[in-house]
C-alpha cells in the first residue's frame, strides 16, 4: 500500500445494486455490493463472466446512474462523470490521426479545460509510462502494449485521484501482459493513485493488488475480500515462490470454481 493511504475510504459502496430493464425482461446485474477502498489502495476485482464487474466499474465512473444503494467518492454521491476518475478499457481506442502526445492530452481539451494541457506535464506522463521517445509518433507505430500504456497516460491526463481499469491487458500476449503489470505497479507506486482493476487473470489480480475482491456469479455481490500480504515491489519471478501467493491463488480459484463458469 502507498504511504498516502489513509483510513477513511475514498470509494464507498453500500447495498449497491443494478437492474437493466429490457424488452424481454429485467436483468439484475448487481445485488447488495458493499466495498470500501482507501486512498492509495490498489484493489483487484475478479469474478465469473457476466457477474457485473463492468457494470460496477461503469457505476463508479458515473457512466451508469446509481439507482440502488449508496455510492460515494470522497463522501460525495456519484452523479456523473468526474475529473477525479480516469478510466481504461480493454481497447486503448487511440485516435489514429493524432500523435501519442495529442491523444494523451485529449481529455484536457474537452469539458471545462479547453487548452490541451501543459506540454511538460504530458511529456512527464509519457516518460513515466516509458513512452518518452514516442510522443510525436502515431498509434499505428506503437505495439499493443505501448498503445495500452498511452491509454493509461490519457486516463491520468487530468490527474484523477482514482484510476478504474476494466480488463486493460486482456488483449495482450502473456509476456507483454506481465511486463505491463510490472509497469503498472511502478506507475501506481510513483503516482499514488487509487486503482480498481478488473481482471480475469488470478495471477495479475494478486501480483498488483493490496486486496483481491472476488465476486459471485450474477447478480454480482462481494464473496470475499482477501488481503495480499506480499511485500513490494513485486516481481513475477519472486512472487510465485512466496508462500502467501500460492495459498491466495488457490483460495481465489476455489471460490471462482464454486461459482461456475470462469471467464
Ligand X SMILES: Nc1ncnc2c1ncn2[C@@H]1O[C@H](COP(=O)(O)OP(=O)(O)O)[C@@H](O)[C@H]1O
Looking at residues 167 to 196 of the shown chain, list those that interact with ligand X (rule: CB under 6 A). none
Q: How far is the CB of 14 from Mg ion (least distance, A)?
A: 22
Q: Examine residue 29 and tell whether it contacts ligand X (CB under 6 A).
A: yes
Q: Measured between alpha carbons, how far is 186 from 65 in angstroms, rounded to an integer?
A: 33
55 binds ligand X per the rule CB under 6 A: yes
Minimum separation from the CB atom of position 141 to ligand X (A): 31
Beta-strand ranges (E) seen in 39-161 are 42-46, 68-73, 76-77, 85-88
Is residue 19 within a helix (H) or strand (E), and if so which, with residue range? strand 9-22
Window contacting ligand X (CB under 6 A); options: 51-59, 108-116, 184-192, 226-234? 51-59
- Collapsing DSSP to helix, strand or coil, 125 comes out as helix
Which residue stretch of 5-13, 50-58, 235-243, 244-252 sits at the interface with ligand X (rule: CB under 6 A)? Answer: 50-58
Binding range to Mg ion, per CB under 5 A, among 45-53, 116-124, 182-190, 231-239 = 45-53
Q: Rule CB under 6 A: is residue 20 a binding residue for ligand X?
A: yes
- Output the CA–CA distances (angstroms, integers) from residue 205 to 58, 125, 211, in the order listed: 19, 24, 9
Instruction: Find the binder of ligand X among 54, 72, 90, 189 (CB under 6 A).
Output: 54
User: What does the DSSP 8-state code read for residue 134?
Assistant: G
Spatial strand order in the sheet of 76-77: 25-38, 9-22, 68-73, 76-77
The distance of closest approach from Cβ of residue 100 to Mg ion in the complex, given in angstroms and rounded to an integer, is 27
Is 52 a binding residue for ligand X by CB under 6 A? The answer is yes
Considering only residues 3, 7, 22, 114, which one is a binding residue for ligand X as defined by CB under 6 A? 22
Compute the distance between CA of residue 67 and CA of residue 47 in angstroms, rounded to an integer. Answer: 22
* Other CB atoms within 10 Å distance of the CB of residue 148: 29
Among 10, 13, 16, 51, binds ligand X (CB under 6 A): 51
Q: Which of 8, 14, 15, 49 binds ligand X (CB under 6 A)?
A: 49
Q: Reduced to 3 states, what is the DSSP secondary structure of residue 30?
A: strand
Q: Which is nearer to ligand X, 32 or 50 (CB)?
A: 50
Residues that bind Mg ion (CB under 5 A): 53-54
Amino acid at each position: 500500500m502507498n504511504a498516502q493511504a489513509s483510513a477513511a475510504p475514498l470509494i464507498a459502496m453500500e447495498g449497491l445494486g443494478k437492474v437493466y430493464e429490457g424488452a424481454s425482461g429485467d436483468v439484475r446485474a448487481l445485488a447488495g455490493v458493499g466495498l470500501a477502498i482507501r486512498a492509495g489502495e490498489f484493489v483487484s476485482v475478479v469474478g465469473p463472466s457476466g457477474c457485473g464487474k463492468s457494470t460496477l466499474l461503469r457505476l463508479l465512473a458515473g457512466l451508469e446512474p446509481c439507482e440502488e444503494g449508496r455510492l460515494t467518492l470522497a463522501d460525495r454521491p456519484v452523479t456523473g462523470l468526474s475529473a477525479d476518475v480516469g478510466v481504461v478499457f480493454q481497447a486503448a481506442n487511440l485516435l489514429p490521426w493524432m500523435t501519442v502526445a495529442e491523444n494523451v492530452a485529449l481529455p484536457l481539451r474537452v469539458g471545462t479545460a479547453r487548452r490541451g494541457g501543459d506540454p511538460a506535464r504530458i511529456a512527464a506522463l509519457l516518460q513515466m509510462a516509458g513512452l518518452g521517445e514516442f510522443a510525436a509518433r502515431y498509434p499505428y507505430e506503437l505495439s499493443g502494449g505501448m498503445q495500452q500504456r498511452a491509454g493509461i497516460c490519457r486516463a491520468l491526463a487530468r490527474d484523477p485521484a482514482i484510476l478504474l481499469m476494466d480488463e486493460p491487458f486482456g488483449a495482450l500476449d502473456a509476456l507483454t501482459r506481465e511486463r505491463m503489470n510490472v509497469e503498472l505497479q511502478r506507475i501506481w507506486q510513483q503516482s499514488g493513485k487509487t486503482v480498481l482493476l478488473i481482471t480475469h487473470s488470478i495471477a495479475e489480480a494478486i501480483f498488483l493488488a493490496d486486496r483481491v475482491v472476488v465476486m459471485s456469479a450474477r447478480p454480482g455481490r462481494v464473496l470475499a475480500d482477501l488481503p495480499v500480504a506480499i511485500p513490494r515491489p513485486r516481481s513475477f519471478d519472486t512472487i510465485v515462490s512466496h508462500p502467501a501467493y500460492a495459498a491466495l491463488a488457490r483460495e481465489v480459484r476455489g471460490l471462482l470454481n464454486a461459482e461456475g463458469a470462469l471467464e
